[in-house]
Chain A
């Protein structure tokens, strides 16, 4: 069987005797014995490479192909109130949504964004929930957010990747020129996220032991945040045409890596803003109501954004 496989593989050799599968070279030996002996290691190597490729570090973001170009046209950005969903995990039942916690986290993340933009000297316009057009955009972002999580190669890997390999990242919320012009912004950040906290630990400020199932809304349906993470922050930058230029997702699975990378790379945070590494294992390590945690997530997000722009 192996020999017939080898013969078939041999036919795959390129014209001009260029070797495309090194193990086949030995097949040319008079005995042909070497090929059979060397095939298993070759197979092992191929299998190893495939497995390693499948386990390679996933991106924490996807970017529109035009982001580097369009970035130069963005001077002022708007920020909508983050859509945060915090859940209380109770033994033996699905996590229960906590509106009070969610509001608190939304305010903290909002403040962290403002701090980050201020530090980056990026003109920022805060937009409330009163603009109907932008609220509609935010509603649609919820669906796009879900689609990206399910189908794009991002974070821990998609649950349902659409075929075609890594497709160009091209999602749209529809034209938003008039709405953005009303607020005198060139683009808007849409932010969403979740945290699942155990009840007692959350009250005591200890979120470390939180384990998650799939968070569910009050109706018992899965919440939009579907990755099995304890805490996650997702954000998208959308321009006037409605194109999602950048989509990033930060969770406890990639936060440390991004922080490590950003310290040595081009996306390194500014002096004095080194992430509080010790916070990772602190009691409130993943609670997005916590200011330090929110800042870590937001800083990591912008670190990824800078990488995307620089690509």
Chain B
């Protein structure tokens, strides 16, 4: 007789508890994102030391683990394989960490938790609207062009204006830093946004970390915060 009562309790508690959880978590401190893996069919051309044979006969290419320190007061959520962090809301400011396999044709949008409904089209994901392909050994300039091309192809973005693109070492690897402004069509009125996007290629994966915020009031407020987060951005083992 006890079990049905316990079952009823569990049933009653479940909706109550789920109402209190949204997927967003407080951070503060160093966090590590686990390595991602991608299955590729066997191809001698791009065999690398990072590829290991998987049980299906192809190869499993793993990304590196990523660690970074998020500031106090920020919340984060895993959106698919990406880390999304914000303090006031993703439409006001956010930091996004993306990892895209170099063979990005296989990189779909990825599962989104129900709590990330506002993120179905926002923030933008580089792989989603990429028309070109990554090429091993791409120069930082070409990488930046790849990312900006993805933004131009995104119907959710309007009035894209590239302000600066420069080569920059990111987490110790040669990469790029791009700054661009845009408006989003999702909102009823298009307040301008600014993004700082830093990216690089390493071991068959593209790593991108970006900071986007409403240009008015919010961008400057947290741009230094992003610099600190970027400083803490590291790749570690697989």
Chain A interfacial positions (CB closer than 8 Å to B): 2, 36, 40, 43-44, 46-48, 50-51, 53-54, 83, 85, 136-144, 146-148, 150-151, 157-164, 171-174, 192, 217, 219-226, 242
Smallest CB separation, A177 vs chain B (Å): 14
Where chain B touches its partner, the secondary structure class is loop
Task: Answer whether A142 and B26 are a contact pair too, CB < 8 Å, given A147-B92, A174-B217.
Answer: no
CB-defined contacts of B191 to chain A, threshold 8 Å:
136, 139-140, 142-143
Of the residues A137, A144, A162, A174, contact of B75 by C-beta under 8 Å: A162
A140 to B12, Cβ gap below 8 A? Answer: no
Of the residues A54, A139, A192, contact of B190 by C-beta under 8 Å: A139
Smallest CB separation, A294 vs chain B (Å): 19
CB-defined contacts of B16 to chain A, threshold 8 Å:
47, 50-51, 53-54
- For the complex, give the distance between the alpha carbons of A148 and B90 in Å: 11
B12 to A48, Cβ gap below 8 A? Answer: yes
Indicate whether B25 reaches chain A with its CB closer than 8 angstroms: yes
Smallest CB separation, A82 vs chain B (Å): 11
The 6 residue pairs across chains A and B that have the minimum distance between CB atoms = A147-B89, A174-B217, A47-B12, A50-B16, A139-B191, A40-B5
Smallest CB separation, A126 vs chain B (Å): 19
- For the complex, give the distance between the alpha carbons of A219 and B185 in Å: 7
Task: Answer whether A157 and B24 are a contact pair too, CB < 8 Å, given A163-B75, A223-B188.
Answer: no
Of residues 181 to 206 in B, which have CB atoms within 8 Å of A's CB atoms? 185-192
B216 to A151, Cβ gap below 8 A? Answer: no
CB-defined contacts of A158 to chain B, threshold 8 Å:
22
CB-defined contacts of A85 to chain B, threshold 8 Å:
188
Of the residues B9, B188, B192, B214, contact of A47 by C-beta under 8 Å: B9
Of the residues B13, B19, B25, B121, contact of A163 by C-beta under 8 Å: B25
A221 to B75, Cβ gap below 8 A? Answer: no
Chain B residue nearest in CB terms to A174? B217
23 A-B pairs whose Cβ atoms sit less than 8 Å apart in the complex: A40-B2, A40-B5, A43-B5, A46-B13, A48-B12, A51-B16, A54-B16, A139-B192, A140-B214, A142-B188, A146-B118, A147-B91, A148-B89, A157-B19, A159-B22, A159-B118, A163-B26, A172-B217, A174-B216, A174-B217, A221-B155, A221-B156, A223-B188
B12 to A217, Cβ gap below 8 A? Answer: no
A160 to B189, Cβ gap below 8 A? Answer: no
Smallest CB separation, B27 vs chain A (Å): 10
A221 to B121, Cβ gap below 8 A? Answer: yes
Indicate whether B108 reaches chain A with its CB closer than 8 angstroms: no
A83 to B189, Cβ gap below 8 A? Answer: yes
- For the complex, give the distance between the alpha carbons of A162 and B73 in Å: 10
CB-defined contacts of A147 to chain B, threshold 8 Å:
88-92
CB-defined contacts of B45 to chain A, threshold 8 Å:
none
Smallest CB separation, B223 vs chain A (Å): 15
- For the complex, give the distance between the alpha carbons of A151 and B116 in Å: 11
Number of interface residues of B (CB under 8 A): 43
- For the complex, give the distance between the alpha carbons of A109 and B97 in Å: 42
Smallest CB separation, A304 vs chain B (Å): 22
B19 to A54, Cβ gap below 8 A? Answer: yes
B189 to A138, Cβ gap below 8 A? Answer: yes
- For the complex, give the distance between the alpha carbons of A53 and B20 in Å: 10
A160 to B23, Cβ gap below 8 A? Answer: yes
CB-defined contacts of A141 to chain B, threshold 8 Å:
189
B5 to A140, Cβ gap below 8 A? Answer: no
Indicate whether B15 reaches chain A with its CB closer than 8 angstroms: yes
Indicate whether B37 reaches chain A with its CB closer than 8 angstroms: no
CB-defined contacts of A36 to chain B, threshold 8 Å:
2
Of the residues B13, B22, B186, contact of A221 by C-beta under 8 Å: B186
Interface readout for B62-103 with A: 1 if CB under 8 Å, 0 if not?
A: 000000000000010000000000101111100000000000
CB-defined contacts of B192 to chain A, threshold 8 Å:
139
Chain B residue nearest in CB terms to A85? B188
CB-defined contacts of B121 to chain A, threshold 8 Å:
221-222
A160 to B116, Cβ gap below 8 A? Answer: yes
Smallest CB separation, B220 vs chain A (Å): 10
CB-defined contacts of B15 to chain A, threshold 8 Å:
51, 54
A173 to B217, Cβ gap below 8 A? Answer: yes
Smallest CB separation, B65 vs chain A (Å): 24
- For the complex, give the distance between the alpha carbons of A48 and B92 in Å: 37
B216 to A136, Cβ gap below 8 A? Answer: yes
Chain A residue nearest in CB terms to B217? A174
Of the residues B20, B88, B115, B155, contact of A160 by C-beta under 8 Å: B115
B24 to A163, Cβ gap below 8 A? Answer: yes
Of residues 107 to 165 in B, which have CB atoms within 8 Å of A's CB atoms? 115-118, 120-121, 155-156
- For the complex, give the distance between the alpha carbons of A219 and B5 in Å: 51
Task: Answer whether A44 and B20 are a contact pair too, CB < 8 Å, given A139-B190, A221-B121.
Answer: no
Smallest CB separation, B7 vs chain A (Å): 11
CB-defined contacts of B115 to chain A, threshold 8 Å:
159-160
- For the complex, give the distance between the alpha carbons of A150 and B114 in Å: 13
CB-defined contacts of A43 to chain B, threshold 8 Å:
5-6, 9
Smallest CB separation, A20 vs chain B (Å): 19
